[in-house]
Structure 1
Amino acid sequence: MFYCLLLLCSQLVLSVALPFEQKAFWDFTMDNDMGGQGMMNDEEGSAFEPTKPTERPVGPTCPFGCQCHLRVVQCSDLGLSAVPKNIPSDTLLLDLQNNKITELKENDFAGLHNLYALVLVNNKISKVHSKAFSPMHKLQKLYFSKNMLTEIPKNFPPSLVELRIHDNQIKKVHKGAFSGMGTMNCIEMGGNPLENSGFAPGAFDGLKLSYLRISEAKLTGVPKDLPSSLTELHLDHNQIQAIELEDLIRYKNLNRLGLGYNHIRMIENGSLAYVPNLRELHLDNNRLSLVPAGLPDMKYLQVIYLHSNNITKVGVNAFCPTGFGIKRAYYNGISLFSNPVNYWEVQPATFRCVTDRFAIQFGNYKK
């Protein structure tokens, strides 16, 4: 029995580990990461001496407070007063919205040659250096809304296809504002105090544009010399008084025209003939007393909004042609509610070129 106890005690003594003595920070990683190499070497009788750690390779850094993931750098809602430094050069999307940035300087975006989208919404930017966008050779989307710009910034990248610059303080669009741009899909510039006189002749020269919106401005008429390539034009929530014969002469490619929430009392006969490809026309919330002339000749028109006007009479040929084979697309939406005309006074044949009765929005006029 004594022999057994002695043997057990000797095993316990041998099994007790020596006190740990830290020599360097990397000692904490030795036990698990080195596969037991930090333990005593039975053959040599000496402890493993850790090698000096090698320097880690330097990779892209992320600006302080920002989040960087999959080439997206998100620096929104940080109270920044300037564009942060050390933005990774491979960034594709840079989000700087909801900050307090007041100026874009020449080298703020230096090295960002691959940037695809830049978000600057809701800052206090009033000044942009003429070379601020120069490094961004691949920029396609620029969101500049809700700032304090008083003019269109200069020298946009030729690669840009979408520009949203609404809700600023822009009063003038200077000549050649979009020179060198080539082709763009969309420009949204509503919510600026733009008057008709604010568009300099040649402001859109050379630009091939599909979609343009100038809503909630101070326009009293359709601006002149907009890009003739437009397929959508939205001028709602302005102070336009009338549509004159030459207002739409440049825009034969228009598919959608938005003129709602204006003060339009008259559309001159023949004006709509210049937009033969129109498919959707918004004239709601104006002051029209008659259905515009020329609608029966519009072969492709499918939707027309005329509600909330002063229309008192709707003729039997107000919408549909009298002959056959002229109208190529039937209406699938006609709104006439909130007008001082009784629906029972309108002849059913008035809507003979409408897809079905559910496409007609009519109702009693209540003052």
Structure 2
Amino acid sequence: MLPHCSILLLLCVTRLLSPSSALPFEQKGFWDFAMDSMDSGGMMRDEEEGSAIGEDPPPHVHMCPFGCHCQLRVVQCSDLGLSEVPKNIPPDTKFLDLQNNRITELKENDFKGLSNLYGLSLVNNKISKVHPRTFIPLKHMQKLYFSRNLLTTIPRNLPSSLVEMRIHENRIKKVPEGAFSGLGNMNCIELGGNPIHNSGFEPGAFKGLKLNYLRISDAKLTGVPKDLPDSLHELHLDSNQIQAVELEDLSRYKHLYRLGLGYNHIRNIENGSLAYLSRLRELHLDNNRLIQVPKGLPDMKYLQVVYLHSNNINQVGVDDFCPRGFGMKRTFYNGISLFGNPVNYWEVQPATFRCVNDRLAIQFGNYKK
């Protein structure tokens, strides 16, 4: 006869080995499957902590919004048909890609907790409404891509850390006073493709900005806008309805090295208008209605590229591009385009291009009407 203690031990072992006595599996979260998969693949379990099955994920592990791809602090949620900003975006996200969706509105708490966000792309959505406090949590954001939406005004309370904003191809008709207030770090603004008239820029609209780059192409401008930032190095006003450049239009932009005025209706550039642009390197005046080479080009010591093609220029003088006297020009031209004008190249004197680096830099072509 077995001792009483031996019988008791045998009953305990039998009960443990019986399948019917096992507790049912209780899933507490998605990570149960992930941890179970890793264990079955040979992952060493911590003998002191026990199995991770059924436990919550470690606090440093963040979920990725459904359908999105999260890697190296980049969260890509583009082309998903989203109608709103997804939840559960990891708080350490640096770049959030929400382009090519159907988002119509940005709400107050859409970016709550994303204080580490560096860049945000909302390109090609249907956003027409932005809550005034939407961008408050984004203390370190530097790049905002808001192009191809339905905005009618500049969003309020943009992050003071912002460096680059592209908001072209919206429905913005007005830039009010103080629209960019507090953005002392802003370097680049793209405003093209909005139906803005000259009257749409209120006095003080760009007050406080020290921009290097500004583009207002494909708008409704009939002249060079007033009171743009005087710190500009690049100004692009292509594809507007500008008809003339008057004497004072460029007087405040003495730091410009690239000016784009192509694809306008410019017939006249008032004598002396270009004298303020002493540092200009590139001048784009192609596809306009000029009948002569603008005055003042020989005095621009650093000018290297001049686009004058597709105008109505019928004559080119020997002193239209180069100054008289040796050493007057600091840098020689490396690009002059004159094709698409009613001027015969064989009628232009060779000395006209005495300050050009190479003859291949001159593009004449044959005028065809």
Same fold by TM (over 0.5)? yes
Q: Give 1:21 deviation, angstroms.
A: 5.1
Matching residue within 301, 304, 319 for 1:302: 304
Instruction: Name the structure 2 match of 1:4.
Output: none
Letter in 1 for 2:194: N
* Rounded Cα–Cα distance in structure 2 between residues aligned with 1:355 and 1:79: 53
Instruction: Name the structure 1 match of 2:133.
Output: 131
Matching residue within 314, 325, 328 for 1:326: 328
Larger Rg belongs to: 1
- Secondary structure (helix, strand or coil) at the match of 1:209 reads coil
Task: Indicate the percent of aligned positions where both proteins have the same amino acid.
Answer: 73
* Rounded Cα–Cα distance in structure 2 between residues aligned with 1:284 and 1:21: 85
* Rounded Cα–Cα distance in structure 1 between residues aligned with 2:322 and 2:282: 15
Structure 1 residues 365 and 163, CA gap change in structure 2 (3 angstroms): same
- Secondary structure (helix, strand or coil) at the match of 1:272 reads helix
Summarize the alignment of residues 1-367 of structure 1 with structure 2, pairs less than 5 Å apart: 23=22, 33=42, 53=53, 55-56=55-56, 57-58=58-59, 59-367=61-369
- Secondary structure (helix, strand or coil) at the match of 2:187 reads strand
* Rounded Cα–Cα distance in structure 1 between residues aligned with 2:266 and 2:40: 82
Instruction: Name the structure 2 match of 1:11.
Output: none
* Rounded Cα–Cα distance in structure 2 between residues aligned with 1:72 and 1:263: 44
- Secondary structure (helix, strand or coil) at the match of 1:208 reads coil
Letter in 2 for 1:328: R
Structure 2, unpaired ranges of 5+ = 1-16, 26-31, 45-49
Q: Deviations over 1:109-133 (max 9, x none)?
A: 0000000000000000001111110
The number of residues matched between the two structures is: 335
Structure 1 residues 277 and 51, CA gap change in structure 2 (3 angstroms): closer
Q: Deviations over 1:281-305 (max 9, x none)?
A: 0000000000000000000000000
> TM-score when scaled to structure 1?
0.87
Structure 1 residues 347 and 62, CA gap change in structure 2 (3 angstroms): same
RMSD value, Cα: 2.1
- Secondary structure (helix, strand or coil) at the match of 1:212 reads strand
Does the Cα contact within 8 Å between 1:253 and 1:277 map onto a contact in 2?
yes
Q: Give 1:186 deviation, angstroms.
A: 1.0
Structure 1 residues 218 and 28, CA gap change in structure 2 (3 angstroms): closer
Q: Deviations over 1:301-329 (max 9, x none)?
A: 00000000000100000000011221000
> TM-score when scaled to structure 2?
0.87
- Secondary structure (helix, strand or coil) at the match of 2:212 reads strand
Structure 1, unpaired ranges of 5+ = 1-18, 36-49
Letter in 2 for 1:225: D
Does the Cα contact within 8 Å between 1:218 and 1:239 map onto a contact in 2?
yes
* Rounded Cα–Cα distance in structure 1 between residues aligned with 2:313 and 2:38: 83
